[in-house]
Each structure stands twice: as C-alpha cells, then as structure tokens.
A = this chain, B = another copy of it.
Amino acid sequence: MKSISFDKINITDGFWKARQDLNSSTTINAVWNRFSDTGRVKAFEFKWKEGDDCKPHIFWDSDIAKWIESAAYIIHKKPDKELESKIEWLIDRIEENQHPDGYFNLYFTLCEPGKRFTDRTCHELYCLGHLIEAAVAYYNATGKDRFINILCKYLELVEKVFVKENSATFVTPGHEEIELALFKLYNCTGNERWLDLAMFFLDMRGTIPHDQSLYEGTHPKYSQSHLPVREQFEAEGHCVRACYLYSAMAYAALVKKDEKLKVACEKIFDDIINKKMYITGGLGSTHKGEAFTVAYDLPNETAYAETCAAISLAFFAQRMFNLTGDSKYADAIERVMYNGIISGISLDGISFFYVNPLEINLINHTRHACVTNGDPLPITQRKEVFDCSCCPPNLTRFIASVGDYILAENDDAVFVNQFVSSEYEENGKKISIKTEYPSQGTVEIKSTFDKAVAVRIPCWCSRFTATESYTQKDGYIYFDKGISDIVIIFDISPVINLSNPLVWENSGKCAVTSGPVVYCAEGIDNGDLRGLFIKRNPSFTVEYSNEYKANIIKISAVRYKDSGQLYRASKYEKEDTELKLIPYFAFANRGESDMKVWINLE
C-alpha cells in the first residue's frame, strides 16, 4: 500500500483548495513576518551576542526549518520566486555558519558554544530532524541538493559522535523527530546509512539507564524512554514527542518488516483512538508535560490538545495506513484534518492556537480573584506567534501537503481515503474527485486506471448510496475495474454522539457532528451556555456557510432558568430554544466567547 504524494495530486477546488490558497497567499508570509519580528530569521545571520535582544532559543532552528519545509511544499506545486529566495538566503546562512566538522545549531553556536551534545533536553537532534525534513522537501521541490548535502555532512558527525564514538552525554534524543526525518532522507536518497542511523536511535531508546529521565520532575515515560520501543504498547508522555516517535516506528516496521514494531504501533494506536483521543482528534489531556494521562481522562476545559499533537497523529496514522491498509487510520486522519488540526489556525490565516480546548467558560478565567497564581487555563483567542511557536509552521506544512492523505494505491486498487476535489494522473491514467465535502456528502469519482476504485466508508457514516454496483470490504466500497463514473452520497445528516461511559467528563453530554466535522456552541451565538440541554430527539436545520466552507447547524434545545436557588428538589423552569452550532474548527474567530463541544443531552 502506497500513499500518493501531494506533489502528484492537484487539489482543484472546495474546502482544502481554499485552505491551501490562504496558506500560500497569507499564512506562509504571516508566519515569516512574525519569525522576523521575533528575531528568529535574523538569528540565522549568526551575529547575535550576549546582551542583544532576541536571544536564540533551543528550538528556533526547527521553527525556521518547518517554515522552509512549508514554503518548499508550496513552491513544489507552484513556483514562487520570493519564497524560494528566502529559502536560498537561509540555506546560504546555514552553509556559512556550519562548523567545519558539519555541526549546525543556532543556540549551541551562539549561546552555549562548547556545550554541544551535552544536554538531552536541548532539542539539538530535534532541530536537525526538522532541517532534514526541510531539505528533503526543498530537494523534491527544486531538485537542488545543496541543503541536503549540508545536512548529510552534519549527519556524518552525528553518526560519529552518537554511534561510533558514543561520546555525547546522551544516546537518544530528548525530543523525537530525527528518526522520522532520517527515514524521509533515506526514502529520498536511498542511502541506507540514514536508515541505519534512524534504526539506531529507535533501537537504543528506552535501553540506556542514563538516558531515561529528562527534565527534573519527569518520569522516563515523558520522553518515551521508559521501555524499548518494541515493548511500548500504550501511548505515554509528551504527545508530540510520542507521535513523532510512533511515526518513525511505523515506518521502520514497514521498511524493516519488523513484526514486533508493527504490533507495538497497532496497540499504541488503538490505545490512543479508543482511550485517549478527544473527539476532535486532539491529544493531550493535561498541560503538565503536554501529555497523555490515563485512559478516558479527557477534560474539556483544561484539554491540552496541542495543534502539533493533532498533526503528529496524522503523521502516525498515515504511516500506519501504509503499513496495514486499514481504513481506520484514514478515519483518524480525517478526524484531525477537519477538527483538531485546523482549529489551530484562525479563519483569516494569521493567528494560531497552541492549545485547543473543547470548552471555554470565560468566568472561570476570573475564578482565582484572590490569588495571582491560579491554575492555568488555555488562552481563548489565537495569537500570531508564541515564544514556543512550533504550531504555526507545523500548520503551514500540513496544509501545504494535505494532498498526501487523499489517495493510495496498491496492485489491485486506487484507494480514495479523503474526499477532496482533486486530480491525479500517472502514466496517462487519471482519477478525479469532485465534491463539496464536508458541507455535502456527494462525492463524484471518475477513474481511467486499470484497477478497482476503493472508496473509504468513513467511520462516522451509517448510510450511503452509490450509483454503481459495489462490494464492501474492510471499510471500503469497491468498484470493479472498468467502472469509471461513480457517484457516492454519504449521509451527512447531523448526528448526536455520545462518549464511552467511562469518560467521566462527558457523562450525560453529547457532541454533534455532521460528516467528519465536530460542532460546537459559542456564547456569541447562544448567550449563556450554562443550563442548555439539547433535546432528546432534536430537530435540525442545516445551512451552508461560505465563510467556513462548511455547514452551520441549528438544533432544538431547552434552556433551564436560574431561579435564584442553588439547590432544589423540583425541576427548574425551562424554555424551548434553538442552539446554533458552528464547526469546532471555526471557534474563537469572533472575539472571546464561551464555547462547548460537549453539551448536555436532555
């Protein structure tokens, strides 16, 4: 099973076309501008000295690297001289400032020279990983190999220090990333040296006693260093670190045909989607360690659900799909694509959430009136840049390369995993998809491939119709080779979803979805959200929003009224009302507001 790379697919219109256009026209420049304002770009001139403003941070290399990767994806689809010259300028600076032995790192060159590879918490290999991903993307986009060569030279040093000499104070990175990047580099160059280096970092993980704890006060689980990777069966620790690791493990399982790694990945993935994932695909139930907690612990207001963690779930799921061909992985990708990832970016494409809560009670932000060190709550409005600004360029690269998730192929069939208006041509054969998804459930597919067409049945879908005859297997609708004109209509009528009874936070509550889109109620539309209950058998009206390129739902509800008493035996008075629900991804675009995904069900 092989996913078709985004560069071979043209997204022609609809939801994702609009998102990609905004990304290319606005977001990529907005992120660049904020990275310039904050000194991240200028830092690459390597002129910063102690006492200057804008001290380079240990992860700034990775911020810029993800921006390069994003810009490379954009120019891969549509050349852009301005973006390319920015990338070239950055590569010039990287080349100039690479140490003679290959080392390159902003922080450890400018701020702590002499301390390289001495602190496992300091993101050096994480930064290198992102630089590799950027270099691979840029090479694929332009055919220029200068950046890759710079990094291969650095990697030779890494191989020497970590594998041959074992002379660093640690063996495996504190923040995983280089592993999956090395697999990409191997995939791009075919050089097994980088495959071996990736496997070295995977195989060593959790086996070195002095390589387990990270920050003071963290358990080895925090950085997935508590067990050898083939013995890890539950999702643990910092979510982004975790899913970057799991992504690498899944790729390794595929290329190495490593059954133990595959089993570990399958168990971990199931642990996530069956026990530790918000309905939005968000991961991370606590700000403490930005981490997975225990099964079924999914608080809404204090959800962490970092944007990067949702993106990392897509990475992991994509590699699991390629490993297994199981549609559930494409289901997970769809869940994050339409919810927990794009909730991280404002509708105007210039500001971002790092944390994506599923509930906002503004009044709770004032609850600690008499102390200044109240418990933290997620911010309620997106920001243009963060001190730790990993999420914005992760969004730009995800959106620019979202084509990666649409199609896959094996010997027997072309698999339509995501319903995005798009075209793919190969050897004179073509498949095209036309749809208004997710605002409509109709998907038209034309294919001239000499293969069956297999269309994923989304996990949320209980009813569909198709114009052509089909068979159903393993979560796919199969249309035989030769059927070239297919129209499928998925029923996207709004659905009332319940949580597993073990999720104590959501007892008695429901979340409304339509197709893959999770909905929420905002105070700005509905007034005080307290005391609102969705009716047991609610009526719906659905209307299209051009702004969201998705539907708005109105649903019948009741509002219980404050009677002035705090407790009473008899029911409170109620009145019928209608609740306006908007896509969760669109929340917090109209000023501060209360918000709820999980709403009481009468």
Contacts and interface: CB of A to CB of B under 8 A. Distances in A.
Given A277-B566, A368-B286, A531 B507 contact: yes
B364 A288 contact: no
Contact of A219 (B218, B292, B372, B533): B372
B530 A504 contact: yes
A572 B371 contact: no
Contact of A495 (B530, B533, B569): B569
A289 B368 contact: yes
A225 to B, nearest CB: 10
Interface stretch (A105-113, A303-311, A556-564): A556-564
Interface string A356-387: 00000101101111111111000000000000
A498 interface: yes
A374 B375 CA distance: 12
A435 interface: no
B502 A294 contact: no
Nearest to A518: B567
B495 A507 contact: no
B371 A501 contact: no
B371 A562 contact: no
B569 A364 contact: no
Given A508-B507, A509-B508, A369 B219 contact: yes
Interface SS of chain A: loop
Nearest to A508: B508
A81 interface: no
Given A217-B371, A368-B289, A372-B219, A279 B499 contact: no
A30 interface: no
A572 B367 CA distance: 36
Contacts of A218: 370-372
Contacts of A565: 274, 500
Interface string A555-594: 0000111111111110110000000000000000000000
Nearest to A372: B217
A496 interface: yes
A371 B217 CA distance: 6
A572 B530 CA distance: 25
Contact of A530 (B370, B502, B567): B502
A458 to B, nearest CB: 12
A460 B569 contact: yes
A358 to B, nearest CB: 12
A238 B370 contact: yes
Contact of A569 (B289, B496, B559): B496
- One complex includes copies of this chain to the number of 2
Interface in A484-533: 495-504, 507-509, 511, 528, 530-531, 533
Contact of A374 (B238, B288, B567): B288
A566 B499 contact: yes
A219 B367 CA distance: 12
A600 B508 contact: yes
Interface string A389-411: 00000000000000000000000
A569 B462 contact: yes
A297 to B, nearest CB: 5
A375 B373 contact: no
B366 A500 contact: no
A370 B501 contact: no
Contacts of A508: 507-509, 533, 600-601
B569 A371 contact: no
Contacts of A65: none
B572 A500 contact: yes
A349 interface: no
Contacts of A292: 370
A222 interface: yes
Nearest to A270: B564
A274 B530 contact: no
Contact of A511 (B375, B559, B563, B567): B567
Nearest to A572: B501
A294 B361 CA distance: 12
Given A286-B368, A600-B508, A567 B375 contact: no
Contacts of A364: 294, 297
A567 B507 contact: no
B502 A531 contact: yes
A280 B189 CA distance: 68
Given A286-B375, A511-B567, 10 more contacts: A238-B370, A274-B565, A274-B566, A279-B566, A291-B368, A292-B370, A500-B567, A501-B530, A503-B530, A503-B566
Interface of A: 217-219, 221-222, 236-238, 273-275, 277, 279, 285-286, 288-289, 291-297, 361, 363-364, 366-375, 460, 462, 495-504, 507-509, 511, 528, 530-531, 533, 559-569, 571-572, 600-601
- The 3 A-B pairs at the shortest CB distance, nearest first, are namely A501-B531, A508-B508, A501-B560
8 contacts: A217-B373, A274-B565, A277-B566, A294-B366, A496-B569, A497-B567, A500-B564, A507-B530
